[in-house]
């Protein structure tokens, strides 16, 4: 049987997530990006919530370029938002790639691979944004 040990309310839809060390980065619907500290899984803590103004965060990925970590957030009609993670607890918005409707994003090698409703699969790298 499965038992719920704890929960963390994110004030959004919590559509997808990615784990990096003890932090969960959550594509959080119209609330944008949420960061949850799970260093104590019995007491997860919401430590960051972005305000994306428009769009609907549906996918999230993390990639490393030249020793720096970046997070890509698929936000529907607003395309992809890129955050720099030098301070993992407080991601800094550093760019945007406009696409018709980005549903999801993954990282592979030096590429962010984006699923877009109208453009299909989009390959993007740091110089793109």
Identify whether 101 is part of a domain: yes
Mean pLDDT of 29-39: 96
The per-residue pLDDT for 55 is: 87
Residue 98: give its domain's CATH number: 2.40.128.630
The per-residue pLDDT for 129 is: 55
Identify whether 8 is part of a domain: no
Summarised one tens digit per residue, pLDDT across range 72-115 is 999 999 999 999 999 999 999 999 999 999 999 999 988 999 99
Parent domain of 111: 16-128
Identify whether 31 is part of a domain: yes
The per-residue pLDDT for 98 is: 95
Counting the structural domains of the chain, the total is 1
Query: Which residue reads 């430590």 in tokens?
Result: 47
Tell me the torsion sign for CA atoms 117, 36, 32, 86: negative
Identify whether 92 is part of a domain: yes
pLDDT beyond 70 at 128: no
pTM, entire model: 0.93
Phi and psi torsions of 127, nearest 5°? -65, -15
């Amino acid at each position: 049987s499965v038992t719920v040990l704890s929960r963390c309310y994110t004030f959004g839809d919590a559509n997808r997530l990615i784990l990096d060390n003890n932090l969960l980065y959550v594509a959080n619907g119209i609330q944008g990006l949420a960061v949850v500290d799970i260093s104590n899984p019995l007491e997860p803590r919401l430590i960051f919530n972005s305000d994306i103004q428009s769009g609907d965060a549906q996918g999230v990925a993390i990639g490393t370029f030249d020793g720096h970590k970046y997070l890509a957030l698929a936000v529907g009609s607003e395309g992809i938002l890129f955050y720099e993670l030098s301070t993992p607890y407080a991601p800094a918005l550093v760019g945007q790639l406009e696409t018709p409707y980005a549903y999801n994003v993954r990282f592979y090698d030096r590429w962010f691979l984006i699923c877009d409703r109208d453009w299909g699969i989009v390959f993007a790298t740091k110089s793109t944004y």
